[in-house]
Amino acid sequence: MTVKDGQTCLTRENFVSLGLRREMDSMVGNACFRLIKEILQYQGKDVYIVDLHIPPTWLLPSSCDPFLCLPLDPQKKDALIFPLWTPGQSVSVAQHIVSGPLTELTGLDVEGLPQQQFGIDCGIFMMMYCWYAVMEAPFDFTIDRLKITCRCAEVGWK
C-alpha cells in the first residue's frame, strides 16, 4: 500500500508507526492531520492545524515567532489546532488572537477523557482529541478500541 498526500509519499510501514507503543513520525502525523482537516471540512468545520514540525521551533534556542505560521484570518476559523507539549504555550499564542480571559486545559482536566497508558502513544491520542473536540463529540473512543485498530493495521494489511 502506498499513499501520496501532497509532497508526502507514505507506505504501509509508515502507517505502522501509528500503532500503540510506537512513536509517530511527524510526516505521518501531518498526513493524518490533513485527513482530519478534510473530514472536518466535509462536516462543515473550518480549522487550521499547525504543521507538527513548527511548534518545536517556538521554543529555545530558536524562539521563532509563532504568529508567522498562523493564517491571515485566525479569528474566522472554527478551531486553531496547535500540537504542543509545553504548558502555557498555546495560551500565549491565543491571547494575541482573541480578547478576554483564557483557560488552558490538559487531558487531566477533562472528565472521562481517554488517557494514554504509554509514553509514546501520544500522537494517536492527540489526533483523536483534536478530531473529537472540534466536532464537539463525546470522547467515547477507548484505548482497547485503538489497540484493536492498530493491531489490524499491523497484521491485516499485508
Tell me the per-residue pLDDT of 98-127, one tens digit each, with 9 for 90 and over. Answer: 777 776 767 777 788 888 777 667 777 877
Q: How much is the pLDDT for 66?
A: 84
Maximum Cα interatomic distance, the chain, rounded to a whole number of Å? 52
pLDDT digits (tens, 9 = 90+) for 24-40: 777 778 888 888 898 88
Q: How much is the pLDDT for 44?
A: 93
Mean pLDDT of 53-65: 85
Q: Does residue 9 register a pLDDT over 80?
A: no
DSSP per residue, the chain: -EEEETTEEEEHHHHHTTSTTSPPPHHHHHHHHHHHHHHHHHTT--EEE--TTSGGGGSTTT---GGGGS-S-GGGSSEEE----STTHHHHHHTTTS-S------GGGSTT-----STT-HHHHHHHHHHHHHTT------HHHHHHHHHHHHHH--
For the chain, the average pLDDT equals 75
Q: Does residue 148 register a pLDDT over 60?
A: no
Residue 49 forms beta bridges with which residues?
A: 81
- Phi, psi at residue 76, to the nearest 5°? -90, -10
Q: How much is the pLDDT for 145?
A: 67
Q: How far is CA 155 from the centre of its chain?
A: 25
Q: Does residue 137 register a pLDDT over 60?
A: yes
Confidence at 157, pLDDT banded by 50, 70, 90 = very low
Q: Which residues touch 146 (CB under 8 Å, ≥6 apart)?
A: 20, 121, 124, 128
pTM: 0.69
Q: How much is the pLDDT for 45?
A: 92
Specify the pairing of strand 47-49 against strand 2-5: unpaired
Question: Where exactly are the structural domains of the chain?
Answer: 32-145
